[in-house]
Structure 1
Amino acid sequence: MQVSASQLATITGLFPNSALKKDLSSQQVAFSQQLNQAQVTVKAGDTLSQIAADHNLTTEQLVKVNHITNPDLIYPGQVINLSSSQASTPVQANQSQASTVTTVANATTSQANSTVPSLASQAEEEARAWIAAHESSGSYTAKNGKYYGKYQLDLAYLKGDLSPANQEKTANNYVHNRYGSWVKAKEHWLSHNWY
Protein backbone atom coordinates (compact mmCIF):
# COMPACT_ATOMS: atom_id res chain seq x y z
CA MET A 1 0.00 0.00 0.00
CA GLN A 2 1.66 3.24 -1.12
CA VAL A 3 0.38 6.79 -1.30
CA SER A 4 1.16 8.30 -4.67
CA ALA A 5 2.79 11.68 -5.13
CA SER A 6 -0.46 13.07 -6.57
CA GLN A 7 -2.47 11.86 -3.56
CA LEU A 8 0.07 13.41 -1.21
CA ALA A 9 -0.02 16.67 -3.18
CA THR A 10 -3.82 16.75 -3.02
CA ILE A 11 -3.88 16.21 0.72
CA THR A 12 -1.00 18.49 1.61
CA GLY A 13 -2.40 21.15 -0.73
CA LEU A 14 -5.21 21.55 1.75
CA PHE A 15 -2.68 22.71 4.33
CA PRO A 16 -0.21 25.02 2.56
CA ASN A 17 2.87 26.07 4.56
CA SER A 18 1.93 23.82 7.47
CA ALA A 19 4.14 21.58 9.56
CA LEU A 20 1.69 18.77 8.74
CA LYS A 21 2.73 18.94 5.09
CA LYS A 22 6.40 18.39 5.94
CA ASP A 23 5.63 15.70 8.52
CA LEU A 24 3.33 13.77 6.18
CA SER A 25 5.84 13.96 3.35
CA SER A 26 8.63 12.49 5.48
CA GLN A 27 6.26 9.78 6.80
CA GLN A 28 5.24 8.90 3.25
CA VAL A 29 8.87 8.55 2.14
CA ALA A 30 9.79 6.43 5.17
CA PHE A 31 6.74 4.24 4.78
CA SER A 32 7.34 3.82 1.05
CA GLN A 33 10.89 2.66 1.77
CA GLN A 34 9.59 0.20 4.39
CA LEU A 35 7.15 -1.29 1.88
CA ASN A 36 9.80 -1.62 -0.82
CA GLN A 37 11.81 -3.74 1.62
CA ALA A 38 8.79 -6.05 1.92
CA GLN A 39 9.35 -7.33 -1.62
CA VAL A 40 12.07 -9.41 -3.24
CA THR A 41 12.77 -9.70 -6.96
CA VAL A 42 13.76 -13.26 -7.86
CA LYS A 43 17.24 -13.67 -9.31
CA ALA A 44 18.55 -16.66 -11.27
CA GLY A 45 19.26 -19.50 -8.86
CA ASP A 46 16.88 -18.27 -6.14
CA THR A 47 14.44 -20.66 -4.55
CA LEU A 48 11.28 -19.81 -2.66
CA SER A 49 12.55 -21.75 0.35
CA GLN A 50 15.81 -19.78 0.39
CA ILE A 51 13.97 -16.44 0.05
CA ALA A 52 11.76 -17.51 2.96
CA ALA A 53 14.75 -18.53 5.07
CA ASP A 54 16.58 -15.28 4.29
CA HIS A 55 13.60 -13.30 5.65
CA ASN A 56 12.73 -15.54 8.61
CA LEU A 57 9.56 -16.81 6.97
CA THR A 58 8.30 -20.21 5.92
CA THR A 59 7.84 -21.30 2.34
CA GLU A 60 4.17 -21.89 3.15
CA GLN A 61 3.77 -18.25 4.21
CA LEU A 62 5.21 -17.00 0.91
CA VAL A 63 3.04 -19.43 -1.07
CA LYS A 64 -0.08 -18.12 0.69
CA VAL A 65 0.79 -14.42 0.45
CA ASN A 66 1.77 -14.64 -3.24
CA HIS A 67 -0.91 -17.17 -4.31
CA ILE A 68 1.77 -19.48 -5.73
CA THR A 69 0.43 -22.77 -7.08
CA ASN A 70 3.81 -24.51 -7.50
CA PRO A 71 6.36 -23.51 -4.82
CA ASP A 72 9.09 -25.33 -6.75
CA LEU A 73 8.70 -23.00 -9.73
CA ILE A 74 9.61 -19.31 -9.56
CA TYR A 75 11.15 -17.17 -12.30
CA PRO A 76 13.92 -14.55 -12.44
CA GLY A 77 12.31 -11.10 -12.35
CA GLN A 78 9.25 -12.35 -10.44
CA VAL A 79 8.38 -10.12 -7.45
CA ILE A 80 7.76 -11.99 -4.20
CA ASN A 81 5.80 -10.13 -1.52
CA LEU A 82 7.08 -10.84 1.97
CA SER A 83 3.89 -9.72 3.73
CA SER A 84 0.21 -9.69 2.88
CA SER A 85 0.10 -5.88 3.12
CA GLN A 86 1.65 -5.86 -0.38
CA ALA A 87 -1.43 -7.57 -1.77
CA SER A 88 -3.84 -5.02 -0.32
CA THR A 89 -5.88 -2.61 -2.39
CA PRO A 90 -4.43 0.83 -3.19
CA VAL A 91 -5.18 3.80 -0.95
CA GLN A 92 -8.10 5.88 -2.20
CA ALA A 93 -7.31 9.52 -3.01
CA ASN A 94 -10.06 10.88 -0.78
CA GLN A 95 -8.74 9.24 2.41
CA SER A 96 -6.93 11.32 4.98
CA GLN A 97 -3.14 11.06 4.66
CA ALA A 98 -2.58 10.94 8.39
CA SER A 99 -5.05 8.11 8.95
CA THR A 100 -3.68 6.25 5.93
CA VAL A 101 -0.13 6.31 7.26
CA THR A 102 -1.30 5.21 10.72
CA THR A 103 -3.55 2.45 9.40
CA VAL A 104 -0.94 1.05 7.04
CA ALA A 105 1.80 1.23 9.68
CA ASN A 106 -0.43 -0.67 12.12
CA ALA A 107 -1.26 -3.28 9.46
CA THR A 108 2.43 -3.75 8.69
CA THR A 109 3.27 -4.14 12.38
CA SER A 110 0.54 -6.71 12.99
CA GLN A 111 1.53 -8.60 9.82
CA ALA A 112 5.15 -8.73 10.96
CA ASN A 113 4.02 -10.16 14.30
CA SER A 114 1.92 -12.84 12.59
CA THR A 115 4.67 -14.04 10.22
CA VAL A 116 7.00 -15.53 12.82
CA PRO A 117 7.80 -19.02 11.48
CA SER A 118 7.53 -22.10 13.64
CA LEU A 119 10.83 -23.38 14.97
CA ALA A 120 10.39 -26.73 13.19
CA SER A 121 9.94 -25.08 9.78
CA GLN A 122 12.82 -22.72 10.39
CA ALA A 123 15.08 -25.61 11.40
CA GLU A 124 14.11 -27.50 8.22
CA GLU A 125 14.90 -24.49 6.00
CA GLU A 126 18.20 -23.88 7.79
CA ALA A 127 19.20 -27.54 7.41
CA ARG A 128 18.31 -27.50 3.70
CA ALA A 129 20.32 -24.31 3.14
CA TRP A 130 23.24 -25.77 5.11
CA ILE A 131 23.30 -28.94 3.00
CA ALA A 132 23.12 -26.94 -0.24
CA ALA A 133 25.96 -24.69 0.90
CA HIS A 134 28.16 -27.68 1.79
CA GLU A 135 27.30 -29.73 -1.28
CA SER A 136 27.59 -27.08 -4.01
CA SER A 137 27.85 -23.60 -2.47
CA GLY A 138 24.22 -23.26 -3.57
CA SER A 139 24.96 -23.67 -7.30
CA TYR A 140 22.35 -25.36 -9.48
CA THR A 141 25.06 -26.18 -12.06
CA ALA A 142 27.78 -27.68 -9.80
CA LYS A 143 29.11 -31.00 -11.13
CA ASN A 144 31.01 -33.80 -9.41
CA GLY A 145 31.14 -36.95 -11.51
CA LYS A 146 27.63 -38.40 -11.63
CA TYR A 147 26.37 -35.88 -9.04
CA TYR A 148 24.85 -32.62 -10.18
CA GLY A 149 23.32 -29.38 -8.96
CA LYS A 150 22.59 -27.57 -5.76
CA TYR A 151 22.09 -30.74 -3.72
CA GLN A 152 24.59 -32.91 -5.66
CA LEU A 153 21.94 -35.43 -6.62
CA ASP A 154 22.70 -38.52 -8.68
CA LEU A 155 21.94 -37.64 -12.32
CA ALA A 156 19.70 -40.72 -12.49
CA TYR A 157 17.42 -39.17 -9.83
CA LEU A 158 16.97 -36.03 -11.94
CA LYS A 159 15.85 -38.09 -14.98
CA GLY A 160 17.33 -35.64 -17.49
CA ASP A 161 15.58 -32.56 -16.05
CA LEU A 162 18.34 -30.38 -14.57
CA SER A 163 16.09 -27.37 -13.92
CA PRO A 164 16.25 -25.69 -10.50
CA ALA A 165 12.58 -26.55 -9.91
CA ASN A 166 13.20 -30.25 -10.53
CA GLN A 167 16.32 -30.20 -8.37
CA GLU A 168 14.32 -28.72 -5.48
CA LYS A 169 11.47 -31.20 -5.93
CA THR A 170 13.78 -34.21 -6.30
CA ALA A 171 15.91 -33.19 -3.31
CA ASN A 172 12.79 -32.82 -1.15
CA ASN A 173 11.52 -36.24 -2.22
CA TYR A 174 14.93 -37.86 -1.68
CA VAL A 175 15.41 -36.35 1.78
CA HIS A 176 11.89 -37.08 3.00
CA ASN A 177 11.94 -40.66 1.67
CA ARG A 178 15.42 -41.46 3.02
CA TYR A 179 15.65 -39.41 6.25
CA GLY A 180 12.19 -38.03 6.97
CA SER A 181 13.42 -34.46 7.29
CA TRP A 182 16.18 -32.07 6.27
CA VAL A 183 17.28 -31.84 9.91
CA LYS A 184 17.91 -35.60 10.03
CA ALA A 185 19.65 -35.46 6.64
CA LYS A 186 21.99 -32.79 8.02
CA GLU A 187 22.69 -34.95 11.09
CA HIS A 188 23.64 -37.81 8.74
CA TRP A 189 25.85 -35.46 6.70
CA LEU A 190 27.66 -34.32 9.85
CA SER A 191 28.35 -37.97 10.80
CA HIS A 192 29.32 -39.26 7.37
CA ASN A 193 30.21 -36.19 5.19
CA TRP A 194 27.38 -37.06 2.78
CA TYR A 195 23.62 -37.39 2.90
Structure 2
Amino acid sequence: MKSLKTVLFGTTIALGLGFFGTSALADTLYTVKSGDTLSTISNNFAGNNSLVDQIAKDNKISDINLIHVGQELTIKTDGTPSVAAPQQVEATNNEVEYVAEPVQEAAPVQQEQTQEAYTGNSSSAKEWIAQKESGGSYSASNGYHVGRYQLDPNYLNGDHSPENQERVADQYVADRYGSWENAQSFWMSNGWY
Protein backbone atom coordinates (compact mmCIF):
# COMPACT_ATOMS: atom_id res chain seq x y z
CA MET A 1 0.00 0.00 0.00
CA LYS A 2 2.83 2.39 0.86
CA SER A 3 4.47 1.82 -2.53
CA LEU A 4 1.16 2.53 -4.31
CA LYS A 5 0.89 5.85 -2.45
CA THR A 6 4.49 6.66 -3.39
CA VAL A 7 3.84 5.88 -7.07
CA LEU A 8 0.61 7.93 -7.12
CA PHE A 9 2.25 10.84 -5.28
CA GLY A 10 5.28 10.75 -7.62
CA THR A 11 3.06 10.62 -10.70
CA THR A 12 0.97 13.52 -9.41
CA ILE A 13 4.10 15.60 -8.79
CA ALA A 14 5.49 14.76 -12.22
CA LEU A 15 2.22 15.70 -13.92
CA GLY A 16 2.08 18.94 -11.95
CA LEU A 17 5.61 19.82 -12.95
CA GLY A 18 4.79 18.96 -16.52
CA PHE A 19 1.87 21.39 -16.52
CA PHE A 20 3.54 24.20 -14.62
CA GLY A 21 7.04 23.78 -15.98
CA THR A 22 6.12 24.32 -19.61
CA SER A 23 6.86 27.53 -21.44
CA ALA A 24 3.52 27.53 -23.25
CA LEU A 25 1.45 30.66 -22.92
CA ALA A 26 -1.12 30.45 -20.18
CA ASP A 27 -4.16 32.44 -19.24
CA THR A 28 -4.22 34.04 -15.82
CA LEU A 29 -7.38 34.15 -13.74
CA TYR A 30 -7.47 37.53 -12.01
CA THR A 31 -9.98 38.51 -9.33
CA VAL A 32 -10.92 42.21 -9.38
CA LYS A 33 -9.97 44.02 -6.18
CA SER A 34 -11.12 47.32 -4.73
CA GLY A 35 -9.73 50.20 -6.78
CA ASP A 36 -9.05 48.15 -9.93
CA THR A 37 -9.85 49.38 -13.41
CA LEU A 38 -9.18 47.56 -16.67
CA SER A 39 -6.46 50.12 -17.21
CA THR A 40 -4.66 49.33 -13.93
CA ILE A 41 -5.04 45.60 -14.53
CA SER A 42 -3.58 45.97 -18.03
CA ASN A 43 -0.71 48.02 -16.59
CA ASN A 44 -0.03 45.28 -14.04
CA PHE A 45 0.22 42.61 -16.71
CA ALA A 46 1.65 44.52 -19.69
CA GLY A 47 3.09 47.71 -18.23
CA ASN A 48 0.69 49.78 -20.36
CA ASN A 49 -2.97 49.96 -21.46
CA SER A 50 -2.52 47.61 -24.43
CA LEU A 51 -4.57 44.77 -22.89
CA VAL A 52 -7.71 46.77 -21.99
CA ASP A 53 -9.66 45.93 -25.15
CA GLN A 54 -8.45 42.31 -25.18
CA ILE A 55 -9.43 41.77 -21.53
CA ALA A 56 -12.86 43.27 -22.25
CA LYS A 57 -13.31 41.07 -25.33
CA ASP A 58 -12.09 37.87 -23.65
CA ASN A 59 -14.38 38.43 -20.66
CA LYS A 60 -17.40 39.73 -22.60
CA ILE A 61 -17.31 43.11 -20.84
CA SER A 62 -19.54 45.50 -22.78
CA ASP A 63 -18.58 48.64 -20.81
CA ILE A 64 -14.80 48.85 -20.31
CA ASN A 65 -15.39 51.47 -17.64
CA LEU A 66 -17.38 49.16 -15.36
CA ILE A 67 -16.01 46.15 -13.50
CA HIS A 68 -16.96 44.75 -10.09
CA VAL A 69 -15.01 43.65 -7.04
CA GLY A 70 -14.79 39.86 -6.95
CA GLN A 71 -15.33 39.56 -10.71
CA GLU A 72 -12.95 36.97 -12.18
CA LEU A 73 -11.21 37.97 -15.39
CA THR A 74 -9.26 35.74 -17.73
CA ILE A 75 -6.14 37.54 -18.88
CA LYS A 76 -4.04 36.18 -21.71
CA THR A 77 -0.41 36.72 -20.83
CA ASP A 78 2.84 36.17 -22.65
CA GLY A 79 4.39 34.40 -19.69
CA THR A 80 6.17 37.42 -18.25
CA PRO A 81 5.61 38.10 -14.56
CA SER A 82 3.09 40.71 -13.61
CA VAL A 83 3.37 43.52 -11.11
CA ALA A 84 2.22 42.31 -7.70
CA ALA A 85 -0.34 44.95 -6.76
CA PRO A 86 -2.60 47.26 -8.73
CA GLN A 87 -1.36 50.81 -9.05
CA GLN A 88 -3.36 53.95 -9.68
CA VAL A 89 -2.81 55.14 -13.23
CA GLU A 90 -2.98 58.83 -13.99
CA ALA A 91 -5.29 59.48 -16.91
CA THR A 92 -3.70 61.14 -19.93
CA ASN A 93 -7.02 61.93 -21.58
CA ASN A 94 -10.57 62.64 -20.50
CA GLU A 95 -11.84 59.06 -20.60
CA VAL A 96 -13.87 58.00 -17.61
CA GLU A 97 -12.74 54.89 -15.75
CA TYR A 98 -14.97 53.54 -12.99
CA VAL A 99 -13.17 51.68 -10.24
CA ALA A 100 -14.64 48.57 -8.78
CA GLU A 101 -15.28 49.91 -5.25
CA PRO A 102 -14.32 52.89 -3.17
CA VAL A 103 -10.67 53.20 -2.40
CA GLN A 104 -10.36 53.03 1.37
CA GLU A 105 -6.76 54.07 1.67
CA ALA A 106 -5.15 55.90 -1.20
CA ALA A 107 -1.48 56.65 -1.54
CA PRO A 108 -0.71 60.35 -1.30
CA VAL A 109 -1.20 62.00 -4.67
CA GLN A 110 1.48 64.41 -5.71
CA GLN A 111 -0.20 67.47 -7.15
CA GLU A 112 1.08 69.37 -10.14
CA GLN A 113 2.10 72.93 -9.38
CA THR A 114 -0.82 74.29 -11.41
CA GLN A 115 -3.40 72.42 -9.32
CA GLU A 116 -5.11 73.92 -6.32
CA ALA A 117 -4.33 72.55 -2.89
CA TYR A 118 -7.35 71.39 -0.89
CA THR A 119 -8.14 71.50 2.77
CA GLY A 120 -11.71 71.46 4.00
CA ASN A 121 -14.73 69.35 4.80
CA SER A 122 -17.17 67.20 2.83
CA SER A 123 -19.56 70.00 1.98
CA SER A 124 -16.80 72.21 0.61
CA ALA A 125 -15.34 69.28 -1.38
CA LYS A 126 -18.80 68.50 -2.76
CA GLU A 127 -19.37 72.13 -3.73
CA TRP A 128 -15.90 72.33 -5.29
CA ILE A 129 -16.69 69.33 -7.53
CA ALA A 130 -20.12 70.76 -8.44
CA GLN A 131 -18.49 74.03 -9.51
CA LYS A 132 -15.84 72.23 -11.59
CA GLU A 133 -18.35 69.89 -13.21
CA SER A 134 -21.28 72.20 -13.99
CA GLY A 135 -20.73 75.62 -12.49
CA GLY A 136 -23.22 74.45 -9.84
CA SER A 137 -26.16 74.13 -12.27
CA TYR A 138 -28.66 71.28 -11.86
CA SER A 139 -29.65 71.65 -15.52
CA ALA A 140 -26.12 71.50 -17.00
CA SER A 141 -25.34 68.90 -19.67
CA ASN A 142 -22.22 68.05 -21.65
CA GLY A 143 -24.15 66.12 -24.29
CA TYR A 144 -24.34 62.96 -22.22
CA HIS A 145 -23.71 63.53 -18.50
CA VAL A 146 -26.29 65.68 -16.76
CA GLY A 147 -26.81 67.92 -13.78
CA ARG A 148 -24.84 69.58 -11.06
CA TYR A 149 -22.44 66.61 -10.67
CA GLN A 150 -22.44 65.55 -14.36
CA LEU A 151 -23.87 62.12 -13.60
CA ASP A 152 -24.56 59.32 -16.03
CA PRO A 153 -28.30 59.70 -16.84
CA ASN A 154 -28.75 55.95 -16.25
CA TYR A 155 -27.90 56.50 -12.57
CA LEU A 156 -30.72 59.03 -12.29
CA ASN A 157 -33.39 56.67 -13.70
CA GLY A 158 -35.16 59.52 -15.49
CA ASP A 159 -35.50 61.66 -12.34
CA HIS A 160 -33.32 64.74 -12.89
CA SER A 161 -34.69 66.61 -9.89
CA PRO A 162 -32.15 68.40 -7.65
CA GLU A 163 -33.07 66.10 -4.76
CA ASN A 164 -32.40 62.95 -6.79
CA GLN A 165 -29.17 64.40 -8.21
CA GLU A 166 -27.95 65.07 -4.65
CA ARG A 167 -28.98 61.61 -3.46
CA VAL A 168 -27.41 59.80 -6.44
CA ALA A 169 -24.21 61.89 -6.31
CA ASP A 170 -23.80 61.15 -2.59
CA GLN A 171 -24.30 57.42 -3.19
CA TYR A 172 -21.93 57.39 -6.20
CA VAL A 173 -19.18 59.14 -4.26
CA ALA A 174 -19.69 56.97 -1.17
CA ASP A 175 -19.52 53.78 -3.25
CA ARG A 176 -16.59 54.84 -5.40
CA TYR A 177 -14.40 57.03 -3.19
CA GLY A 178 -15.69 56.74 0.36
CA SER A 179 -15.88 60.52 0.79
CA TRP A 180 -16.20 63.75 -1.14
CA GLU A 181 -12.66 64.64 -0.06
CA ASN A 182 -11.30 61.49 -1.74
CA ALA A 183 -13.37 62.28 -4.85
CA GLN A 184 -11.96 65.80 -4.93
CA SER A 185 -8.41 64.52 -4.53
CA PHE A 186 -8.99 62.13 -7.45
CA TRP A 187 -10.52 64.96 -9.53
CA MET A 188 -7.51 67.18 -8.84
CA SER A 189 -5.15 64.46 -10.07
CA ASN A 190 -7.16 63.35 -13.10
CA GLY A 191 -9.51 66.16 -14.14
CA TRP A 192 -12.62 64.04 -13.55
CA TYR A 193 -14.17 61.97 -10.77
TM-score range, shorter chain: 0.3 to 0.5
Instruction: Give the TM-score, by structure 2 length.
Output: 0.37
TM-score w.r.t. the length of structure 1 is 0.37
Q: Which has the higher helix share?
A: 1
